């Protein structure tokens, strides 16, 4: 079994170009499934019943619907691989359906809140300029924090105000860069100066590529210093980016492209609107409002 799982994970890394983090998560899900599965010694004896029993066990252990859905997706992918490689005759996950999960509205800041927050990030030190540049870039582009930390200087076209982003699955996309973000990056790079051998755009104090954890710490720091009054994460900024575009008339397909979503349904969660906007639309549109 371990050999099959290893071959599957190698397939994900090499053929599907999945990240190491994703492969690690898949490995953990499979390990958990086979630890609970009574038929783990013979892969061909597995049936949909084993998978349903796994779901029941997860439910009893108070796993959330999103976690169960992810683990089921892992099993579906694993058994599809085995079927494709002709290692099993029947895919036991074929008729397994995902549990319906409650989709929570993503947290986001109002446009005015976001503007005040970003404008309040001041300071003349290189670190201050870096922080302002990376947070302006997050909001300007809506990219994921992992995509932000993966940026190299050559990925930024400051003349045309564009950045090249390497997204999930190794897919590249071009995203517009706003004027304030573009200017903040230029100020940061000028203050940073030339650093031989470093192609990364955002660096830590040891002149190494910034990691995602440090970006979250930076955001926490400025949230406290600017007295924002609420918790904000890199994903909150991404949510705010999408919400503000849609609120101002951007079409869903364009926002999908900008966010790098493969499915439109993933983008549709951002179509929530505030009560104030609903009332405004109603007042303008209804003849007897």
Active site members:
144, 168, 235, 238, 261, 270
Q: Output the DSSP codes for 109-142.
A: --HHHHHHHHHT---SSHHHHHHHHHHHHHHHH-
Assess contact for 157 and 151: CB atoms under 8 A. no
Gap between the Cα atoms of 217 and 203, Å rounded: 14
User: What sections of 166-259 are H helices per DSSP?
Assistant: 179-192, 212-225, 234-247, 252-259
Gap between the Cα atoms of 100 and 47, Å rounded: 22
What secondary structure letter does DSSP report for 153? G
Query: Is residue 200 classed as helix, strand or coil in its secondary structure?
Result: strand
């Amino acid at each position: 079994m371990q050999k099959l799982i290893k071959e599957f994970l190698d397939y994900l890394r090499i053929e599907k170009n999945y990240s190491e983090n994703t492969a690690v998560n898949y490995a953990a899900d499979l390990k958990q499934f086979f630890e609970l599965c009574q038929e783990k010694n013979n892969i061909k004896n597995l049936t949909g019943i084993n998978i349903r029993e796994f779901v029941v066990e997860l439910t009893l252990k108070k796993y959330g619907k999103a976690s169960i859905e992810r683990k089921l997706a892992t099993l579906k992918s694993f058994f599809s691989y085995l079927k494709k490689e002709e290692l099993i005759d029947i895919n036991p996950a074929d008729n397994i359906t995902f549990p319906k999960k409650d989709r929570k509205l993503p947290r986001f800041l109002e446009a005015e809140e976001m503007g005040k927050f970003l404008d309040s990030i001041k300071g003349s030190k290189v670190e201050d300029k870096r922080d302002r540049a990376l947070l302006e870039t997050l909001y300007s582009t809506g990219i994921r924090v992992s995509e932000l930390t993966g940026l190299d200087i050559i990925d930024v076209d400051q003349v045309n105000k564009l950045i090249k982003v390497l997204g999930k699955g190794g897919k590249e996309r071009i995203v517009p860069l706003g004027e304030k973000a573009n200017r903040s990056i230029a100020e940061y790079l000028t203050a940073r100066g030339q650093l031989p051998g470093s192609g990364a755009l955002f660096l830590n104090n040891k002149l190494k590529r910034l990691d995602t954890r440090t970006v979250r710490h930076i955001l926490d720091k400025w949230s406290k210093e600017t007295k924002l009054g609420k918790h904000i994460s890199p994903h909150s900024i991404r949510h705010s980016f999408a919400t503000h575009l849609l609120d101002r008339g951007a079409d869903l397909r364009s926002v999908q492209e900008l966010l790098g979503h493969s499915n439109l349904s993933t983008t549709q969660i951002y179509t929530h609107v505030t009560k104030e906007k609903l009332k405004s639309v109603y007042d303008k549109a209804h003849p007897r409002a």
